[in-house]
Amino acid sequence: MPPTEIKLVVLDWAGTTIDYGCLAPTGAFVEAFASKGVDVTLAEARGPMGLHKKDHIRAMLRTEIVGGKWRAAVGRDWAESDVEELYRSVTPLQVAAAEKYSGLIAGVPAVADALRAKGLKVAASTGYFHEAAAVVRSAAKRQGFEPDFNICADDVLAGRPAPWMIFRCMETLSVYPPAAVVKVGDTVIDIEDGRNAGCWSVGVIDSSNEMGLSEAEFRSLTETERNARRKDITERYQKAGAHAVLHAITDLPALIGDLNARLARGERP
């Protein structure tokens, strides 16, 4: 039977629930490439965010800019063996960065409580590998947030934008169909992930990888600057197929009511 209400929310980790600005992953990629003499920028490192970290490295190398920098520095095109070597370099750097940038985004425990009070289950998924995923999960638990189920890209055949992590959350928590599920994330890949799963796909702006600012940097923006950046990110999310866009994760409980009303009218993602 068609769902009458939302039963499950699948939250991303870095940039959505922890690590305001998604700062941990970017620096690790920059440092790993630097070890090979390749000078990539934070913006270039952010581009494929949301993918499994090995896929992230491939996606960076496939861009004209980073691929060109690689050829200039190394003297040849990149190969799969280079991806493996970079990934081995990224792994300890990523774990250390995840520990450093492990502060929960304000309001996350209260949001989880509000969702559960409405009868929803709360899961979390991430493009992190097992070691980094364990760090953020433990850090979040210490700060008062623990999802009902947690999964990382290493646990499935393919990471985002494939929908397998969302489907595993649904299976484990016994929630279906996809129209009863909301995926919330802070990258375009997250939006595509949700759409590919057939569920409601929602983007968060202010703390996001797409914004790419620490909380202090974001607070230092003028209202005009904030609104201009929000407009640009909203357009990117909507172009990827987002059903809704939120300024902050604290706006999520109110959105659930709106989505339930849309379901009651017969709308589907």
What phi, psi does 78 have (nearest 5°)? Answer: -75, 155
**Beta pairing, strands 244-246 & 149-152:** unpaired
- For the chain, give me the number of helices (H) and strands (E)? 12, 6
Q: Which residues contact 160 (CB under 8 A, 6 or more apart)?
A: 50, 51, 52, 127, 153, 189, 190, 192, 193
Out of 53, 54, 121, 183, pick the active-site residue: 53
Active site residue 12: yes
What phi, psi does 161 have (nearest 5°)? Answer: -85, 10
What phi, psi does 10 have (nearest 5°)? Answer: -110, 115
Beta strands in 1-117 (DSSP E): 8-12
How far is it, in rounded angstroms, from Cα 45 to Cα 32?
Answer: 11
How far is it, in rounded angstroms, from Cα 170 to Cα 99?
Answer: 29
How far is it, in rounded angstroms, from Cα 62 to Cα 261?
Answer: 43
Active site residue 19: no
For every residue of 80-106, DSSP letters joined together read HHHHHHHHHHHHHHHHHHHHHT-PBPT
How far is it, in rounded angstroms, from Cα 30 to Cα 32?
Answer: 6
Out of 12, 55, 186, 206, pick the active-site residue: 12
Active site (catalytic) residues:
12, 53
